[in-house]
Structure 1
Amino acid sequence: AKKAFYPSKIPFSLMHIDTGHNFPETIEFRDRLVKELGVNLIVGSVQEAIDDKRVVEEKGKNATRNTLQITTLLDAIENNNIDAAIGGGRRDEEKARAKERFFSHRDDFGQWTPKNQRPELWNLFNGKMHQGENFRVFPISNWTEMDVWNYILKENIQIPSLYFAHERKVVFRANSWIPVSEHLPKIEGEKIYNKKIRFRTLGDITITGGIESDADTLEKIVEEVSAMRETERGNRADDKRSETAMEDRKKQGYF
């Protein structure tokens, strides 16, 4: 978007659905980028939805605010009269996203129905919608993880430091290294490790698993990704709740 509209500013707002369980590095990067770009930032707060009793916070060792984002996201879209929300989802991330079109139609409840998707022939997209409906638009849907990293390397794009290998205290849960934080429910007797890891995808700090890695430069990340055989969302605890976890959430209005 920055290149497309240069030298003008990006003509639309950025939006962040804030669960309150973010990596501190994520918020620092968000605020710095918004300031550099000079764009408007819309923030939807999951904590406010909890306080207003619009959603109920999960309890227990596997509790997450991931699903609670749905209500906050739909509220933000409606309150800001958003007709198209542009995201970075890709088909190779997860099987539910492999079903989704570039222009993903959502009904007036904000929900997605896979069987009612519109055909997209060549570069022809159908953006027609009725009152109250909206689209989620995924411009890089047909990119791979390797495409993304090659582009970041080529264009020298700023990214959060979390994508680079660094030392961090973690616990091993659901076959992933989960960061230790004030938001992570404690399990008695669970061992805490100090590992050099990096993250291939970023979500809440309570559900984002890291991989052991020494890749601390873009060149090393590209080399590492080229040898991987598992999608980056393979380390996301929110996708491991069931075989259809992502699709179930998307049908309700998730990203």
Structure 2
Amino acid sequence: MKTQQLLDVCESGIGGGAAAALGTERKDHLDLLESEAIFIMREVAAECRNPFILFSGGKDSAVLLHLAHKAFHPEPVGFPLLHIDTGHNYPEVLQYRDQMARRYDGRLLVRSVQDSIRRGSVRLRRPDESRNRHQSVTLLEAIAELQIDACLGGARRDEEKSRAKERVFSVRDEFGQWDPRSQRPELWALYNTALAPGEHLRVFPISNWTELDVWQYIARERIALPSLYFAHQREVVRRGGLLVPVTPLTPPRTGETVETMTVRFRTVGDISCTAPVASKAATAAQIIDELARCTVTERGATRLDDQTSESAMEQRKKEGYF
């Protein structure tokens, strides 16, 4: 029986006043999602030796940090923060990342893909190649260096098909790889955190949330976000059915026409692979209204690196991607 059904039974069986006295007043879906996420975070804190939150400054990791604050308040956030920096991030997002780390008294550690390039563990095929997929190498190096046994991330099942295959507690082997055929059951919210030497966990507390849930929660909790998530004017070119921002890393190609449009970002990542969408939604409420009518998935509408094949993300996850 689902949690809400249990609450309904309690209310009908003992009366509304008594139910309220016992703390069983009716919850909405955001309350239930929040409770599940906080339970997962506390489970990680109790069972894992050295967990970190993967914090990029994007909206999902912002929600994750806010949930961690609520999970451990009045104590500081229970996990250090780790950002894998490609070196090609939007300045607004990096500034926001640092501000939020200070606001929540979080210990922020940054590891750079550029350092992996210097060490020779990442080799680019060409100078302008997207560094997004190479984050996997830097992340695995950071996990080994810091002896991390659990990484909490903001991935959600509704983002992409391969993410929908992944458990909330996802085991990665000694090489950092994920095998979709060898996952542990998670019946009745019972999570197996046992690890063999060299293994680690990827944990996704908001796995069951949708993009719309995230924005409704942002609106309700008044969570600040980078300005890129809201409507603004930007130069773009049309390429492959997407709007590509014009930047020094993504200049227009021969024959492409530069347009100034009102856009916003649904997801924010490496400049080289993150595209905005045409939108006039300048507030969280307007974005919620827009998403309620949207039929295109978040990554399908905005990620240049997911356009090659349906298995692109799954292959990267097998190699150690978030």
Residue 90 of structure 2 is matched in structure 1 by 23
Structure 2 Cα separation of the partners of residues 138 and 99 of structure 1: 12
Offset from partner CA, 1:183-241 (integer Å, 9 cap, x none) = 22552232211111001111111111111100001110000010011110012011112
What code does the residue aligned with 1:174 have? G
Question: TM-score scaled to structure 1, two decimals?
Answer: 0.96
State the AA in 2 paired with 1:178. V
**Structure 1 unaligned blocks of 5 or more:** none
Corresponding residue of 1:79? 145
CA offset at residue 11 of structure 1? 2.2
**Cα deviation, residue 149, structure 1:** 0.9
Corresponding residue to 1:113 among 179, 202, 206: 179
Q: What is the alpha-carbon distance in structure 2 between the residues aligned to residue 60 and residue 109 of structure 1?
A: 27
TM-score by length of 2: 0.77
1:198 aligns with 2:300: no
The structure-2 alpha-carbon separation of the partners of 1:116 and 1:66, relative to structure 1 and needing over 3 Å to count, comes to same
How many pairs align? 254
The one-letter code of the counterpart of 1:81 is Q
Q: Which residue in 2 is equivalent to 1:10? A: 77
Structure 2: give runs of 5+ residues left out of the alignment.
1-67
> Which of 30-39 and 113-122 deviates more?
30-39
The answer on 1:58 being equivalent to 2:132 is no
Task: Report the residue type matching 2:107 in the other structure.
Answer: N
The whole-number CA distance in structure 2 between the counterparts of 1:173 and 1:66 is: 19
The runs of at least 4 aligned residues of structure 1 exceeding 4 Å deviation read none
1:222 paired residue among 285, 288, 302:
288
Q: 2:314 aligns with which of 244, 247, 251?
A: 247
8 Å Cα contact 2:69/2:76 also seen in 1: yes
Pairs within 5 Å for 1:32-181: 32-59=99-126, 63-181=129-247
SS in structure 1 opposite 2:271?
A: coil
Answer with 1 or 2: which has the greater Rg.
Answer: 2
The AA in structure 2 aligned to 1:5 is: F
Alignment check: 8 A CA contact 1:58 1:65 kept: no
Query: CA offset at residue 122 of structure 1?
Result: 1.9
CA contact (8 A) 2:246 2:252 kept: no
Per-residue CA shift, 1:84-105, capped at 9, x if unaligned?
1000111110000000000011
For 2:253, which of 160, 180, 187 is the aligned residue?
187
3-state SS, counterpart of residue 130 of structure 2: coil
> Distance between the aligned counterparts of 1:89 and 1:189, measured in 2?
37
- Contact 1:89 / 1:141 at 8 angstroms: preserved in 2? yes
Q: Could you say what secondary structure the match of 2:248 adopts?
A: coil
Moved more, 52-61 or 64-73: 52-61
Q: For residues 68 and 176 of structure 1, do their structure 2 counterparts lie closer, same or farther at Cα, with a shift above 3 Å needed? A: same
Whether the 8 Å contact between 2:237 and 2:252 is mirrored in structure 1 is no
Q: Tell me, in whole angstroms, the C-alpha distance in 2 between the residues paired with 1:57 and 1:196.
A: 33
How many Å apart are 1:243 and its aligned residue?
1.8
2:310 maps to 1:238: no
* Contact 1:102–1:137 (8 Å) recurs in 2: yes
Between Structure 1 and Structure 2, which shows a larger proportion of helix residues? 2
Secondary structure, in 3 states, of the residue corresponding to 1:224? Answer: helix
State the Cα deviation string for residues 138-187 of structure 1 (Å, max 9, x = none): 01111111111111111111111111010011122221111111222552
Identity %: 52
Q: Match of 1:114, SS?
A: coil
Higher normalized contact order (CA 8 Å, seq sep 6+, divided by chain length): 1
